[in-house]
């Protein structure tokens, strides 16, 4: 049996999947939805995500840490299991599209409009497919290296507080706030990524340590978002932070520190690591959902199919307005999916002893697929 994913690797892997490139736009969304001092709402969204993770963990423990595909195929009839697994696969592939397309849009915005979005998207997709083929164990080790390569940038970002002005925060809380279900859904989606744990449950090592690791790095994500929201609202007036699509980029361009002005391109290269890891994990999870209802596990055709679907989506001509609509729909779909999957852990009965040996065989097959031997 191949080795399971270690606790720290799991925490960092989910951290990389959560962070993505959403933080470039998050301060803009916060200002639009909650007005002045909207950074106060970041801890609220963090607590909501924390509640989801805790309920999910205890539900997984109740079902003896079976993955969602295993749970569905064992305890639901085929006419329910197959559509549900198909929906999981489609939703995860849609998230892959959102992650890669968002990254390429921001990269084009910061560099040159002549940069081919299609070419860059296919490069990121190809890298993500390769990582997904290697499985979560290899990705968890790679994510540790990626984090080591990018963590130094946080120190440089903290230097921007030299331009921070407390007076810009104003004594008014939520002035000009215009909250909408669409905006709140998009903000909450920036904390998503923990649902991947329900797909890789049998691969998790020491089921208490990885839970603590995920909680720790989920806190890091919240602190990261809070830092940027504070910076934007302490350096830019409300009318700019609420109308500028990528206010974080304005911080680098307007900084008095020459070093920060010159690292934007380098930062985006490092951000590609998060985009690749996030896309790879969702591709792998989609493959697990599809392969679960096959009589024989056919890994190569499934990955070929998923790669073609992602490529077709990324090559489709889409305007920014159309992409925003698609992003909104997928965010709602993710909400529904996460709620449904967590509820399945609590609603479905616990397996009996008669299925234990069969489940051990399925776990072994999953390990071998997720962590191929050299």
Residue pLDDT tens, the chain, 374 long = 456 788 888 888 898 888 766 777 888 888 888 888 888 899 999 999 999 999 999 999 898 888 999 999 988 888 899 999 999 999 999 999 999 988 888 777 766 666 677 888 899 999 999 999 988 888 888 888 888 777 766 666 666 656 666 666 666 777 777 888 888 888 888 888 899 999 988 888 766 788 999 999 999 989 888 888 888 877 776 667 667 767 766 666 555 555 555 566 666 677 778 888 899 999 999 999 988 876 566 788 899 999 999 999 999 888 888 888 888 888 888 889 999 999 999 998 887 655 555 444 454 555 455 555 44
User: Computed over its alpha carbons, how large is the radius of gyration of the chain?
Assistant: 21
Stated pTM of the model? 0.86
> If DSSP codes are grouped into helix, strand and coil, which group holds residue 204?
strand
* CATH no. of 23-197+206-346: 1.20.1740.10
Cα 338 from Cα 361, distance rounded (Å): 27
Tally of CA atoms within 13 A in the half-sphere of 9 that contains its CB: 18
Q: Which long-range contacts (CB under 8 A, 24 or more apart) does 8-11 make?
A: 8/144, 8/213, 9/137, 9/140, 9/141, 9/143, 9/144, 10/140, 10/197, 10/204, 10/205, 10/210, 10/213, 10/214, 11/210, 11/213, 11/214, 11/216, 11/217
Cα 12 from Cα 217, distance rounded (Å): 7
* CB atoms closer than 10 angstroms to residue 206: 13
* Angle separating helix axes 247-254 and 26-34, nearest 10 degrees: 120
Cα 19 from Cα 16, distance rounded (Å): 5
Residue with tokens 């199919």: 305
Give me the sign of the Cα torsion angle 330, 333, 337, 339.
Answer: positive
Cα dist from 232 to 19, 23, 114, 264, whole Å: 18, 11, 28, 16
Cα 13 from Cα 278, distance rounded (Å): 8
What pLDDT is attached to residue 148? Answer: 79
What pLDDT is attached to residue 1? Answer: 41
What pLDDT is attached to residue 256? Answer: 52
What pLDDT is attached to residue 114? Answer: 66
Cα 221 from Cα 206, distance rounded (Å): 23
Cα dist from 366 to 67, 135, 182, 192, whole Å: 10, 10, 37, 24
Q: Name, in order, each residue with C-beta under 8 angstroms of 111's C-beta and a sequence gap of 6 or more.
A: 265, 268
Nearest in space to 199 (alpha carbons), one of 335, 85, 330: 85
User: In the chain, what are the domain boundaries?
Assistant: 23-197+206-346
């Amino acid at each position: 049996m191949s080795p399971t994913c270690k606790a720290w690797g799991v925490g960092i892997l989910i951290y990389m999947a959560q962070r993505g490139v959403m933080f470039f736009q998050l301060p803009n969304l916060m200002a639009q939805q909650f007005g002045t001092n909207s950074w106060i709402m970041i801890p609220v969204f963090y607590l909501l995500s924390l509640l989801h993770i805790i309920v999910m963990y205890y539900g997984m423990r109740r079902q003896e840490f079976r993955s969602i595909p295993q749970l569905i195929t064992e305890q639901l009839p085929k006419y329910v299991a197959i559509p549900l697994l198909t929906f999981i696969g489609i939703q995860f592939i849609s998230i892959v599209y959102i992650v890669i397309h968002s990254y390429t849009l921001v990269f084009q915005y910061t560099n040159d409009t002549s940069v081919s979005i299609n070419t860059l998207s296919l490069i990121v997709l190809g890298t993500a497919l390769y990582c997904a083929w290697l499985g979560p164990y290899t990705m968890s080790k790679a994510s540790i290296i990626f984090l080591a390569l990018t963590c130094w940038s946080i120190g440089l970002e903290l230097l921007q507080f030299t331009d921070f002005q407390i007076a810009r925060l104003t004594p008014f809380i939520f002035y000009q706030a215009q909250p909408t279900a669409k905006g709140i859904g998009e903000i909450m989606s920036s904390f998503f990524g923990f649902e991947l744990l329900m797909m890789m449950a049998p691969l998790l090592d020491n089921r208490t340590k990885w839970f603590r690791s995920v909680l720790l790095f989920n806190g890091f994500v919240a602190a990261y978002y809070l830092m940027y929201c504070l910076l934007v609202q302490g350096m830019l007036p409300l009318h700019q932070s609420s109308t500028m699509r990528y206010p974080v980029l304005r911080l680098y361009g307007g900084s008095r520190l020459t070093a920060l002005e010159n690292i934007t391109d380098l930062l985006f290269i490092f951000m590609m690591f998060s985009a690749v890891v996030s896309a790879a994990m969702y591709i792998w999870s989609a493959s697990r959902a599809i392969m679960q209802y096959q009589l024989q596990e056919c890994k190569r055709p499934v990955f070929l199919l998923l790669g073609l679907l992602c490529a077709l989506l990324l090559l489709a001509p889409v305007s920014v307005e159309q992409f925003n609509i698609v992003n909104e729909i997928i965010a709602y779909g993710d909400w529904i999916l996460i709620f449904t999957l967590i509820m399945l852990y609590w609603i479905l009965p616990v397996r009996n002893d008669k299925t234990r040996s069969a489940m051990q065989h399925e776990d072994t097959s999953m390990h071998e697929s997720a962590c191929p031997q050299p």
